[in-house]
Copies of this chain bind each other. A is one copy, B any other.
Amino acid sequence: MEISENSFISLIRKFGRKNKRIVRGIGDDGAVVNLDRGQYVFVQDAMVEHVHFEFSFMDPYFVGRKALYSNISDILAMGAQPAFYLVTTGISPDMSSKDMYRLYQGMDRAAREFGVTLLGGDTVATKTDFFIDISVVGKLVGKRYYGRDKAKAGDHIAVTGKLGQAAMGLKTLQTEDSRRGMKSCIERFLSPKPPYAVWKELVKNDITDVMMDVSDGLLMDLSRMMAESKKEARIDLERVPMPRSLRGCGLEHLALSGGEDYQLLFTFPEKKMPAISRLSEKKAGVTVIGRVFNGKGVRLFRNGKEVELPDTTGFDHFGGRS
């Protein structure tokens, strides 16, 4: 990059918005924040060039925005309101200060949407590829965190939004395939805004305390939830919400194992079904897809008949299929 660290810090300092809780913001060894007593959630999540995205199809603005979204998604999934974030950027030799400015603009956009304030972080050089790593602090909204470890036999399993959109979007961007009709999938890959409105409804109606975000694919993430809860999930394939372009085109696996959906996966008890039905009627974007049983792992059914799990059960952030 063509500017020095000092100049760059001045440049990003403007993104540190006013917040009455911040005693000392960007510009010191650390940020000082006044916190009330309570339960706080801490998350940290990174994106790496050539692993999670390419600049050839993803503007730095979207990289910054998505990196913050993915962290906010984790905070919401724990049942907390996101509040503050720190960001480390690993700047590759060929990035310009304009690129970095776009990156911070993208983060700032996501930050304003969710009322999150930048506290600081670090800027380092890399010799090769770019990376961004963000940590976010949130505060629990209710008394109990939303965990992967509390699913009970008899609970229903539901997800927000549609699955497989981001994976289909990425596939389209990576290949020479026609992009016709793929706009919403590409948008979902580039800018996976967490389902804030639905989340607020779920919180308001006290639907659940069992939740996680779908980041590595439904099957992988659900199997993690079942492992933590020591239960078995049975999923009805035909109910899994996905774009029409995936259903029946041999691309259902993208909805099951595609990754980067950043939708919310949760279970809820029978007595909350009326509230969920009301949400579904309002087209809030909640779909019931299965149920929890005593047992172990995840089982798939199509029209009541059990089918085999696909080989590829999830996106592995180590770069390969697990």
Contacts and interface: CB of A to CB of B under 8 A. Distances in A.
Interface of A: 1, 4-6, 8, 23-24, 27-52, 73-75, 77-78, 80, 84, 86-88, 90-91, 119-129, 131, 133, 135, 137-138, 140, 145, 147-149, 212-213, 216, 224, 228, 316-319, 322
B317 A5 contact: yes
Q: Is the interface of A mostly helix, strand, loop or mixed?
A: strand
A119 B48 contact: no
B322 A50 contact: no
B147 A28 contact: yes
Contacts of A88: 44-46, 133
A28 B135 contact: no
Contacts of A121: 44
Nearest to A148: B28
Contact of A122 (B45, B49, B140): B45
A4 B48 contact: no
Given A35-B40, A88-B44, A135-B135, A123 B4 contact: no
Contact of A228 (B27, B43, B128, B212): B27
Given A24-B145, A78-B29, A135 B44 contact: yes
Contacts of A29: 43, 73-75, 77-78, 148, 212-213
Contacts of A317: 5, 122-125
Nearest to A41: B30
B78 A43 contact: no
A46 B148 contact: no
Contacts of A122: 44-46, 133, 317
A124 B27 contact: no
A50 B126 CA distance: 8
Contacts of A322: 4-6
A148 B31 CA distance: 12
B28 A125 contact: no
Given A24-B145, A28-B78, A131-B131, A33 B40 contact: yes
A35 B42 CA distance: 12
A123 B77 CA distance: 19
A261 to B, nearest CB: 14
Given A27-B148, A30-B80, A35-B35, 8 more contacts: A8-B318, A29-B43, A30-B78, A45-B88, A46-B90, A48-B90, A51-B127, A88-B133
Question: Sorted from nearest, which 5 A-B pairs have the closest CB atoms?
Answer: A125-B319, A30-B43, A29-B74, A44-B86, A4-B322
A117 B119 CA distance: 21
Contacts of A319: 125, 127
Given A35-B38, A126-B129, A129-B126, A147 B44 contact: no
